Amino acid sequence: MLRVDNVEKSYPHFGLFSKSRQQVLNNISFECKHGECLGIIGESGSGKSTLGRLILGIEKPDRGTIVFEGKPVEDRKVRSGNLSAVFQDYASSMNPFYTVEEVIMEPLRLQKQKQAEGHSQIDLLLYQVGLNPSYRSKYPHELSGGEAQRVCIARAVCTVPKLIVLDEAISSLDGSVQFQVLDLLKSLRTMYNMGYIFITHDIQAAAYICDSLMIIRKGRIEETVKVEQLGDVQSAYARKLLQMVIT
């Protein structure tokens, strides 16, 4: 479904007009199959969020290709309705002047043929993310962090996408709420037969929800492993991450 081949990305090191550049991603290649949940694990600054932006077509790679079902993600038509995202900062992800209903409907405004159907599905979407219909008329400032992120998830699934990129989607939430949202994501994945790219620094959360983990360090893929084989990781860096969880 998603194929990333030999992707590289760099940014100006000391400002926009600098000739010096910092390499953020180096020779990244992987695949994510239909319905798969792939975790991208790495410490802060490893390049994982940059990779997420490239997958979503928000930025373009310097080299390499990213294709979704055989077509480049740079094409808006390829992404529309097929790729969605949930980000860490749920507060800035929502227009503060929109009601919850307007927030959820936002992706459908570009798909006018589905808009009427979307309005009739709001209550169902709210129910599926653990909220009741009374939330339709609420504004973002009236929501708790967990409620706000549930609304963002409802918005992400409203187009019934084939793949959702979740970039540190639970890291701003309290511990107990994190596991509630993880369980929600697991159930929605089964319900809609969607795939996830789950970007996080939390290897424990990734192991709970993902099929495979791709560990990156300093912009390079360190190791890729099935979750059930996590105890058999080969690289010293991966073993260090696991040890941090165990202790």
Average pLDDT over every residue of 221-232: 89
pTM of the model: 0.90
The answer to whether 220 and 190 are in contact (CB under 8 A) is: no
pLDDT above 90 covers a percentage of the chain that reads: 63
Question: What pLDDT is recorded for position 195?
Answer: 96
Domain boundaries along the sequence of the chain:
32-60+69-82+163-247, 89-160
With a cut of 80, say whether residue 246 has pLDDT above it.
no
With a cut of 80, say whether residue 245 has pLDDT above it.
no
Count of Cβ atoms closer than 10 Å to residue 203 Cβ: 20
Question: What pLDDT is recorded for position 16?
Answer: 61
Question: What pLDDT is recorded for position 137?
Answer: 95
Q: Give CA–CA dist 185/157, Å, rounded.
A: 10
Q: Give CA–CA dist 11/72, Å, rounded.
A: 22
Average pLDDT over every residue of 42-59: 92
- To the nearest 10 degrees (0 to 180), the angle between helices 145-157 and 112-128 is 140
What confidence category does residue 65 fall into, taking pLDDT thresholds of 50, 70 and 90? Answer: very high
Question: What pLDDT is recorded for position 231?
Answer: 80
Query: Domain spanning 32-60+69-82+163-247 has what CATH number?
Result: 3.40.50.300
